[in-house]
Structure 1
């Protein structure tokens, strides 16, 4: 041990710096954050700018979509709830997707954003995608699984959460 840094062969500092695997691990969630963030922002904007989608009925409307999947969903009561106000439900999903996408992309309240993304994906899987056969053709289940690492890890680098955490440590000291 030299100056508090381990220099044995198992140390990440054995060759003078962090091992490439440590670096890869540190940044591994960034592509997932970018993909999910951009995808959810796009999905939210797509819904908000689609006049046909934000209607009670008609071709391509959220109301017709919910009526179509009602009997094949895992939780028809959830669909019934959305059918009480399909346009309001459409706006809630669209703004939820925007908030989740922006939150995970910039890394602000990233774990909360990831929970929101997982809940949106779960609700869409249990309603809209439930009848997809075979199940792996439905994308909502894959999105649900993609959110789980971000629920667990958050956005530890290149994020506002990390910047705020570093600022708190500088200001108050790190007593861990």
Structure 2
């Protein structure tokens, strides 16, 4: 059995014998986690603190937004479901975005949080931004694609998931 030796002029990284490239590869999803986490926390807080948003009617309200996109959405039934209780739906969306954002930021149940983010983005793409043309002007599809690597990989470093995984290994 042969061992590979890495010539590394930058020394050791985070207590491991790895090159800066290996460290960068391990941390590659961290900027995405931070961006999506901060964005979704902000989106949730913005909805909860916007006096116009959490109303069933009026300019800037969730109800008005849903009525405006209903006929142009890919799945009008989703919009109809939200319109049964627009204020409840608005609160649900805001709290879901907060939970997703915080989960991804701290890396707790990160795959589940990322799946939640992907589902939120998918639902928004199929409803609110479906009629955006060309499609690449709409941001919800891009958010959906950004969530997928986190669904697959989770938060392997700098996360509560990693801490819990290390504890479980230590108990074995």
TM over 0.5: yes
**After TM superposition, what 4+ stretches of structure 1 lie above 2 angstroms from structure 2?**
13-17
Q: Deviations over 1:117-172 (max 9, x none)?
A: 00000000000000001110100000000000000000000000000000110111
* Inter-partner Cα distance in structure 1 for 2:115 and 2:132: 24
Task: Give the deviation of 1:14 after TM superposition.
Answer: 2.8
Residue pairs, 1:65-76, within 5 angstroms: 65-76=65-76
**1:14 equivalent in structure 2:** 6
* Inter-partner Cα distance in structure 1 for 2:20 and 2:78: 47
Task: Give the deviation of 1:31 after TM superposition.
Answer: 0.3
Task: Give the deviation of 1:71 after TM superposition.
Answer: 0.2
* Inter-partner Cα distance in structure 2 for 1:122 and 1:102: 19
Residue pairs, 1:60-139, within 5 angstroms: 60-139=60-139
Backbone CA RMSD of aligned residues: 1.1
Q: Structure 2-normalised TM-score?
A: 0.92
Q: Which segments of 5 or more consecutive residues in structure 2 lack a partner in the other structure? A: 9-16
* Inter-partner Cα distance in structure 1 for 2:128 and 2:169: 44
- Between Structure 1 and Structure 2, how many residues are aligned? 164
Tell me the secondary structure at the aligned position of residue 53 of structure 2.
coil
Tell me the secondary structure at the aligned position of residue 50 of structure 2.
coil
Is it true that 1:23 corresponds to 2:28 in the alignment?
no
* Inter-partner Cα distance in structure 1 for 2:66 and 2:109: 31
* Inter-partner Cα distance in structure 2 for 1:148 and 1:78: 22
Residue pairs, 1:134-173, within 5 angstroms: 134-172=134-172
Q: Which segments of 5 or more consecutive residues in structure 1 lack a partner in the other structure? A: none
